[in-house]
Amino acid sequence: MDIDLRLLRYFVAVAEELNFSKAAVRLNISQPPLSFAIKQLEQELDLVLFERNSRQVALTNAGIRLYKEALFILGHASSLKHTLHHADARPHIRIGFVGSMMYRNLAGLLAELKQLFPDMTFSLTEANSSEIIHDTDRGNIDIGLTHANQLPAGIKSRTLMIEPFLLCLHQSNPLATQKSLDLADLQHENFIFFSRSVSPAYYEMLLSMCVSAGFFPRANDEARHWLSITSLVSQNLGVSIVPACMQHCGLPNLRFIPFKHTQRSVTDVVWSARKDADIKQKIVDVAARFYAPFL
């Protein structure tokens, strides 16, 4: 059963004043509509809320219980109204990020944004690049931090970071003690690749690096996130080629070794200009300045 909040406010006034005339003055209405409202509330609840006689008004047991509940309901309604108005006043920016951004100082970027835009609120959602681009296109994400990918029409991008790849080996691997390697040195190893279905571009890039080094890799395992890949290497299940930022992942038993190659891992910021274009552009500009040393 739905109860009109207006009736609850009228009830609370009478319950606190225990006098219809005083309650009517407090509510800035005349007494007859107030009496009618209370009678309407009693009929809707099928309860007697007040004991009335010519001398006094008193709450019944049901009235006492309703008074406590009414204070809670009205308080919650007031708080909800304040929250919604406050949310309207403070733009909320939803940021989607690939997991490797945690090792590209995402926390530092977020702190910078909060300092520069104290009138905004920010929330983070971790996903893979294709999911972020899809949600950005649909309007579910405002700013996306992704690996470079093909974009649908209407989605803009700007390159934030360009970094080399490193070879990632378990420390027990005989080659893990080397300061540098040729990719061909690993041709007999089991490679763990970025999932083809999640990022065809990254999969093809890693594959082409191996082919250019003169071998076709034994890539039996795939993972959807760089952290998953390094975790598998950490458990000695294979080797991989990972962006340089992953050397900061903190997992045990890993060695990251440079090798000669021309490919680079590219991190982009993506956004849709269909809505709040000015706000998004300001955030993109801050992100570009923040990561400028990595270009």
pLDDT tens, position by position, 38-89: 999 989 899 999 998 877 889 999 989 898 888 888 887 777 666 666 555 6
Identify the CA nearest to 142 among candidates 28, 283, 292.
283
What kind of fold does domain 5-89 have according to CATH? Arc Repressor Mutant, subunit A (1.10.10)
Do the two domains 5-89 and 92-160+267-294 of this chain adopt the same fold?
A: no
- Domain 92-160+267-294 classified CATH 3.40.640.10? no
Q: Where are the domains of the chain?
A: 5-89, 92-160+267-294, 165-263
Token pair recorded at residue 95:
């940021």
**pLDDT tens track for 3-36:** 788 888 999 999 998 998 898 898 889 888 889 9
CATH number for 165-263 (one of 1.25.10.10, 3.40.190.10, 3.10.580.10, 3.40.50.150): it is 3.40.190.10
CB contact at 8 A, 1 and 47:
no
Residue 164 is predicted with a pLDDT of 96
Alpha-helical segments (H) within the chain: 5-17, 20-27, 31-45, 61-89, 106-116, 129-138, 200-212, 226-234, 277-290
Question: Which residues have a Cβ under 8 Å from the Cβ of 265 and sit 6 or more positions away?
Answer: 147, 161, 162, 163, 164, 165, 243, 244, 245
Task: Report, as an integer, the average pLDDT of 217-225.
Answer: 84
Burial 55-68 (b: 16+ CB within 10 A, else e): eebebeeebeebbe
How would you write 211-229 as a 3-class SS string? HHCCCCCEEEEEECCHHHH
* The pLDDT of residue 157: 96
Chain mean pLDDT for the chain: 90
Per residue in 87-145, pLDDT tens? 556 788 999 999 999 999 999 999 999 999 998 999 999 998 889 999 999 999 999 99
